Amino acid sequence: SQQGEEDPQALSIQEGENATMNCSYKTSINNLQWYRQNSGRGLVHLILIRSNEREKHSGRLRVTLDTSKKSSSLLITASRAADTASYFCAPRDNYGQNFVFGPGTRLSVLP
C-alpha cells in the first residue's frame, strides 16, 4: 500500500470559485481514488481514475492523472458551501491491499 500526499493542506475560496487540490504519490499505480469527508462524518467515494486514463469527469468534479509526474489533481468547479470538507486521495498499486490516507486537503468554501 502507498500513501498519497495532498497539497495544499488547507484551501479557502469564495462560493462560485473553482478549487484545485493535488495529490502526489511515490510508485506506479493501478488506479487513484478521491474521497471527501464532511466534518465529523464518514468518507464518501468521489471518483476513481485508472492509470491508463488522463482525465475523468463526474458532475462538477474533474480529475486528472499524470503518471509521469506521479500526481493527480481534483478540480471542483463553481464551488458551493456544501463542498466544505476534507479531501483525501488514495493511490492503489498492484500489491497493496489497503488504503493509506494522506493528511488531506481541508477545503473551506465561504459564502
Partner 1 sequence: DTEVTQTPKHLVMGMTNKKSLKCEQHMGHRAMYWYKQKAKKPPELMFVYSYEKLSINESVPSRFSPECPNSSLLNLHLHALQPEDSALYLCASSQSQLAITDTQYFGPGTRLTVL
Nearest to partner 1 of 34, 109 (CB atom):
34
Cα(40)–Cα(30) distance, rounded to whole angstroms?
A: 30
Nearest to partner 1 of 14, 59 (CB atom):
59
User: In the range 49-108, which residues lie near partner 1 by CB under 8 A?
Assistant: 50, 88, 92, 94, 97-104, 106
Residue given cell 493509506 in the structure block:
100
111 near partner 1, judged by CB under 8 A? no
Query: Which positions lie near partner 1, rule CB under 8 A?
Result: 30-31, 33, 35, 40-45, 48, 50, 88, 92, 94, 97-104, 106
